[in-house]
């Protein structure tokens, strides 16, 4: 350059940029792009270029990524753009060139490869830009299951192929729900509802279903208990199908939920004939209006169930006191102390002891209450229920309320054992 060094070559950046801004000659601008010391001057010069030949030369020869971004964006020559796509080392520049190609089918694989690149290395914005241009459903599916979370979500949102969306929903643990929300094909929704790896994704699909037969089938066969419970509680209304679930579901808890929703007495009776689950039988007996059949079930449970607690509960429901007493006497000999004690308190000979506890104002108030709750001697209960002796049967105490170890108030509690006796009398009248 010698003595005639151009102003744009100045080491003073402001002077160099101002000099470039005055240029209009494309060759001089191209020279400034290649030789200016100031990156800002080089960039300003590139932004003023319009000559396609010069732009093409720079696109092929430049190694400056900031210049390449500008000149490739200005290119229209399809051959040069294709050359950049094929040979450029910077993926972000290849992406710019690919977006300008007329035939987008030629660069779908490039978009997919960029979409699966390391987001910390290439940048999230570049990856999302590539996905935005991706239309090939097979490649979008590949991106949706093999990339970072952000890229996965973007790819899923571009999927339209229902089978691909269903596949994502079934196998993806992060964005399965997003895929389900885009599903409209009924068969695919059912497939996801039954087979998705993540239970919450299954439920998202189930919420889109209304077909009672399909819902019943899922409730019966699901290996996720809470899903069966949710279907029965929130989706299934058909009484015949509820009865089928009550008889055939894999999970006993799902069967019980179905029984709780059953109101049809004939169906309840039919389920009772077809189950060997004692808890379900107990639930059915509680719902039956046919009291004779209910009593038969309670007696069967009390005599034959394999768990002492349900035998005890069933015995409490038996109207025939002779049969009930036999069961309680049998249970009073149980190895389980807690059940033997409870059963013993149900025996006629235990009544005097319970009456004594209930009337003893020196006994623990909770023990007195528990005694009244299992007492069957109506005379003693009436005596306590009608007593005028408030001091003997009524307790009032106060509890300090704390918030973060600081006292914030006082709550008053009251226990009237006469009210407990009245409630027990009411229970005995209905038994």
Give the residue ranges of the chain where pLDDT is below 50: 1-2
For residue 310 the two structure tokens come to 């349900």
Nearest CA-CA partner of 140 in 107, 111, 117: 111
pLDDT at residue 3, rounded to an integer: 56
pLDDT at residue 121, rounded to an integer: 80
From CA 225, how far away is CA 337, in angstroms rounded?
Answer: 33
pLDDT at residue 61, rounded to an integer: 92
Nearest CA-CA partner of 56 in 85, 23, 80: 80
Looking up tokens 């399809």, which residue turns up?
78
DSSP H or E stretch at residue 413: strand 406-416
Contact 189, 212 (CB under 8 A): no
Residue 424 domain flag = yes
Residue 51 domain flag = no
Nearest CA-CA partner of 311 in 272, 289, 350, 342: 342
Residue 421 domain flag = yes
Residue 261 domain flag = no
Number of domains composing the chain: 1
From CA 379, how far away is CA 402, in angstroms rounded?
Answer: 43
Residue 294 domain flag = no
For residue 308 the two structure tokens come to 């002492």
Residue 228 domain flag = no
From CA 69, how far away is CA 46, in angstroms rounded?
Answer: 10
From CA 65, how far away is CA 59, in angstroms rounded?
Answer: 10
pLDDT at residue 431, rounded to an integer: 64
SS3 409: strand
Nearest CA-CA partner of 278 in 246, 311, 242: 311
Residue 232 domain flag = no
Give the global pTM. 0.68
Nearest CA-CA partner of 140 in 131, 148, 129: 131
Residue 391 domain flag = yes
Contact 265, 289 (CB under 8 A): yes
Whole-angstrom CA distances from 167 to 14, 175, 250 are 57, 11, 26
Rg (C-alpha) for the chain, rounded Å, is 40
How do residues 55-104 score in pLDDT, each as one tens digit?
999 999 999 999 999 999 999 999 999 999 999 999 999 999 999 999 99
Looking up tokens 């710019």, which residue turns up?
96
pLDDT at residue 48, rounded to an integer: 95
pLDDT at residue 147, rounded to an integer: 80
Domain that holds residue 424: 347-431
pLDDT at residue 11, rounded to an integer: 87
């Amino acid at each position: 350059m010698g003595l005639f060094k151009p102003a744009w070559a100045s080491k003073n950046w402001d002077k160099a940029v101002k000099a470039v801004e005055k240029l209009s000659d494309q060759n001089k601008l191209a020279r400034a792009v290649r030789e200016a010391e100031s990156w800002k001057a080089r960039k300003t010069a590139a932004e003023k270029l319009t000559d396609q030949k010069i732009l093409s030369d720079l696109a092929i020869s430049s190694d400056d990524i900031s210049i390449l971004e500008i000149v490739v964006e200005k290119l229209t020559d399809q051959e040069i753009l294709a050359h950049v796509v094929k040979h450029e080392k910077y993926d972000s520049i290849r992406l710019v060139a690919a977006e300008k190609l007329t035939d987008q089918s030629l660069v779908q694989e490039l978009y997919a490869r960029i979409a699966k690149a390391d987001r910390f290395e290439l940048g999230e914005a570049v990856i999302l830009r590539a996905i935005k241009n991706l239309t090939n459903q097979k490649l979008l599916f590949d991106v949706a299951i093999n990339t970072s979370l952000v890229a996965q979500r973007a790819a899923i949102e571009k999927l339209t192929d229902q089978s691909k969306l269903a596949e994502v929903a079934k196998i993806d643990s992060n964005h399965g729900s997003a895929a389900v929300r885009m599903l409209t094909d009924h068969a695919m929704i059912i497939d996801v509802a039954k087979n998705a790896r993540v239970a919450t994704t299954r439920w998202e699909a189930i919420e889109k279903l209304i077909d009672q037969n399909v819902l019943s089938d899922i409730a019966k066969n699901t290996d996720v208990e809470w899903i069966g419970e949710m279907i029965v509680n929130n989706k299934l209304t058909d009484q015949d199908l509820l009865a089928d679930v009550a008889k055939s579901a894999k999970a006993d808890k799902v069967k019980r939920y179905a029984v709780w929703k059953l109101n049809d007495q004939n169906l309840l009776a039919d389920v009772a004939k077809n189950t060997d689950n004692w808890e379900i039988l107990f639930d059915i007996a509680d719902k039956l209006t046919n009291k004779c059949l209910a009593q038969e079930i309670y007696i069967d449970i009390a005599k034959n169930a394999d768990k002492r607690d349900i035998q005890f509960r069933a015995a409490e429901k038996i109207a025939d006191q002779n049969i009930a007493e036999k069961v309680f006497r049998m249970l009073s000999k149980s190895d389980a102390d807690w059940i033997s004690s409870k059963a013993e308190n149900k025996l006629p000979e235990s009544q005097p002891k319970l009456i004594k506890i209930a009337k003893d104002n020196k006994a623990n108030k909770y023990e007195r209450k528990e005694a009244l709750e299992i007492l069957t001697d109506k005379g003693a209960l009436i005596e306590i229920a009608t007593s005028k002796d408030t001091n003997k049967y009524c307790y009032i105490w106060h509890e300090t309320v704390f918030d973060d170890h600081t006292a914030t108030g006082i709550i008053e509690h009251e226990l009237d054992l006469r009210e407990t006796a009245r409630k027990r009398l009411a229970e005995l009248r209905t038994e």
